[in-house]
């Protein structure tokens, strides 16, 4: 019987919007490239079209990553499906399109851990339902199943910069791993996340210190950082004991500073 969790290295690295340094973000090309680079997992962003279709896109507008213009929420899925999502890479990815969430879950669910970032409050129930429909709902795995130097991750984890979205996810999927993405990492924020029962705090990578990471762990929280821009700030964060991170370059070496 297949396990409902994955064992990954600690620290682990999730391909941020796929291998987005090498292929158009949040597209099949970027996700497939991440798998080819042997990523520990894939992170992606979820928004909704005007007619209620959940799609993978970071920005509120389609301008930056496609040949279209305007807010995504003003467009029906039919129009979104015809957009060229490879414009930032010249003619290298002529078939890049904006994927639907159900397509993403069908293609990658069960292959690697997936992190779904909720960009629009109010979409939480539909997202949790989509995960359940693919049979990917699972409890947070026990901490003692991974070998030394490893961690266990469920098939799907959730995150958001919206604390309200995180609280909604906690109610809709009470046993899931939910992480709050925050630019503020201090004792007050650690306590707020712990009190909400979220299980994970996701600070900006350059705010991670040995004392704060240790405090988060003491409060029963895992720490997954974000905002990697260069190898050195990645190495510095690894050296203070983070559990994982997202990165546009999933092939970067996870070697702490000496």
CATH number of the domain bearing residue 81: 3.20.20.190
Per-residue pLDDT reduced to its tens digit, 179-237: 999 999 999 999 999 999 999 999 999 999 999 999 999 999 999 999 999 999 888 88
- pLDDT, residue 2, reads 56
- Is there a domain that residue 86 lies in? yes
- pLDDT exceeds cutoff 80 at 110: yes
**How far is 213 from 237, CA to CA, in rounded Å?**
10
Q: What is the pTM of this model?
A: 0.94
Question: Residue 88's domain spans which residues?
Answer: 5-247
- pLDDT, residue 1, reads 36
The number of domains in the chain is 1
- Is there a domain that residue 253 lies in? no
- pLDDT, residue 148, reads 76
Lowest mean pLDDT among 122-126, 144-148, 222-226: 144-148
**How far is 192 from 185, CA to CA, in rounded Å?**
11
- Is there a domain that residue 258 lies in? no
- Is there a domain that residue 252 lies in? no
- Is there a domain that residue 187 lies in? yes
Per-residue pLDDT reduced to its tens digit, 49-66: 999 999 999 999 999 999
- Is there a domain that residue 240 lies in? yes
- Is there a domain that residue 100 lies in? yes
**How far is 20 from 34, CA to CA, in rounded Å?**
8
- pLDDT exceeds cutoff 90 at 144: no
Percent of the chain predicted with pLDDT > 90: 86
Backbone angles phi, psi at 137, to 5 degrees: -70, 130
User: Could you tell me how far CA 143 lies from the centroid of its own chain?
Assistant: 20
Which string of b and e fits 21-39 if b means at least 16 CB within 10 Å?
Answer: bbbbbbbbbbbebbbebeb
Task: Please give the sequence-ordered ranges of beta strands (E in DSSP) within the chain, or none if there are none.
Answer: 5-9, 12-16, 41-48, 54-56, 114-118, 150-154, 156-160, 178-182, 199-203, 222-225, 244-247
- pLDDT, residue 258, reads 44
- pLDDT, residue 239, reads 92
- Is there a domain that residue 254 lies in? no
């Amino acid at each position: 019987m297949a396990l409902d969790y994955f064992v990954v290295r600690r620290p682990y690295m999730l391909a941020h919007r796929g291998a987005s340094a090498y292929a158009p973000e949040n597209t099949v090309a970027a996700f497939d490239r991440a798998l080819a680079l042997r990523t520990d997992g894939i992170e992606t962003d979820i928004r909704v079209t005007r007619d209620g279709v959940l799609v993978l896109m970071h920005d509120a507008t389609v301008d930056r990553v496609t040949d279209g213009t305007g807010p995504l929420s003003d467009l029906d899925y039919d129009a979104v499906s015809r957009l060229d999502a490879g414009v930032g890479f010249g003619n290298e990815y002529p078939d890049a399109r904006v994927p639907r969430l159900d397509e993403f879950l069908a293609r990658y669910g069960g292959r690697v851990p997936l992190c779904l970032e909720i960009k629009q409050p109010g979409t939480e129930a539909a997202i949790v339902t989509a995960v359940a429909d693919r049979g990917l709902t699972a409890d947070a795995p026990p901490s003692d199943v991974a070998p030394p130097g490893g961690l266990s991750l469920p098939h799907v984890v959730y995150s958001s910069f919206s604390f309200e979205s995180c609280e909604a996810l906690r109610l809709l999927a009470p046993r899931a791993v939910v992480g709050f993405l925050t630019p503020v990492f201090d004792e007050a924020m650690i306590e707020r996340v712990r009190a909400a029962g979220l299980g994970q705090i996701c600070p900006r990578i350059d705010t991670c210190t040995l004392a704060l990471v240790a405090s988060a762990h003491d409060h029963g929280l895992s720490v997954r950082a974000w905002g990697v821009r260069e190898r050195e700030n990645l190495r510095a964060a690894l050296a203070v004991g983070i559990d994982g991170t997202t990165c546009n370059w999933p092939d970067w070496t996870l070697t702490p500073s000496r």
